[in-house]
Amino acid sequence: MPMAYVYNPGRVGLTFREARDHFVRTYPQVETGPIDNVSPHRVQNVLDAARAAGVPVEPFTIDIPRYWQYFEAAGYAARFPEYYRGNQQEKALEHFIALDLLAPGPADVFVDIASEHSPVPEIYWRMTGCCAFSQDITYPAGIEGNHIGGDAAAMPVRDGFVKAAALTCSLEHFEADADQRLFAELTRVLQPGGRVCVVPFYVYEQAATQTDPLVSLNADVPFDEDTVIHCAENWGNRHGRFYSPATFRKRLVDRFSHALDFRVYHLVNAGDVHPSIYARFAFTATRK
């Protein structure tokens, strides 16, 4: 059985090459280097694969002046200067897109899933008046203030508690069947018409998983059987699932279509926002 989940298991005392070579000997499909799902030809490959898999993708054009207005009003530079220093534009764009697609109001409950130290709940509360919660597996189990601790697939809240939820740069870390358990839980906690937004949606032309072998080698990570494992030096994370359109449909869309309406978005002008931006896709699931 896999070991109990530890978000940051630490690094093994090997070189990257030694750890990578262990993966090559252990797993059938291993490549060296991070996954590129940002280059225009890769994005087009994803769009072609989505069409072949019967997964509709809608164009989503970012209102860039409004994004920068949000960036200033949210106060990233002034209030949260150490939050993803050097990469704030990407994180802020994820938050902006989720806010745009969710549109929580003063009477709504919002949950930031796998929030860790994100400023999103405070920003959304300040800007919309919604009742905002942070949820994370690293928090103590239960509810304390606006923190919901424990497994996101077993939240200690009543049915229909949530109107809006977001996963920003986090669904990819849900290992084994945790993504499916999460969406089963979302069908319970979202009220009718409630919505979850995932951005970035890590989707690639084939099923793939990115890992830093120095982090994952001793963590007994349960990699998907049908995945190509990309060993990314200095990435610092144990697991990052990149769905193919076909595996996204199989794992989530077909399984939960009775309860959730899925919509996938191509962020057509994301690269024009800032050179550091890597988000290219997002998706929402709305409770029927």
pLDDT digits (tens, 9 = 90+) for 208-238: 999 999 999 989 899 999 899 999 999 999 9
Between CA 34 and CA 171 the distance in angstroms is 18
Q: Which of 3.40.50.150, 3.40.50.300, 3.30.70.520, 3.30.1490.100 is the CATH number of 16-287? A: 3.40.50.150
Mean pLDDT, residues 259-274:
97
pLDDT of residue 6: 77
Whether the pLDDT of residue 242 is over 80: the answer is yes
Segment 47-67 shows an average pLDDT of 98
Q: Looking at the whole model, is its pTM more than 0.85? A: yes
pLDDT exceeds 50 at position 23: yes
Residue 284 predicted with pLDDT over 80: yes
Mean pLDDT over each residue of the chain, to the nearest integer: 96
1 — pLDDT class (breaks 50, 70, 90): very low
3: confidence class by pLDDT, cuts 50, 70, 90: low
Tell whether the model's pLDDT for residue 130 goes beyond 50. Answer: yes
* pLDDT score, position 86: 84
Q: Tell me the average pLDDT across 64-87.
A: 95
Identify the weakest region by mean pLDDT among 11-15, 30-34, 52-56, 147-151: 11-15
What value does the mean pLDDT take over residues 57-84?
A: 96
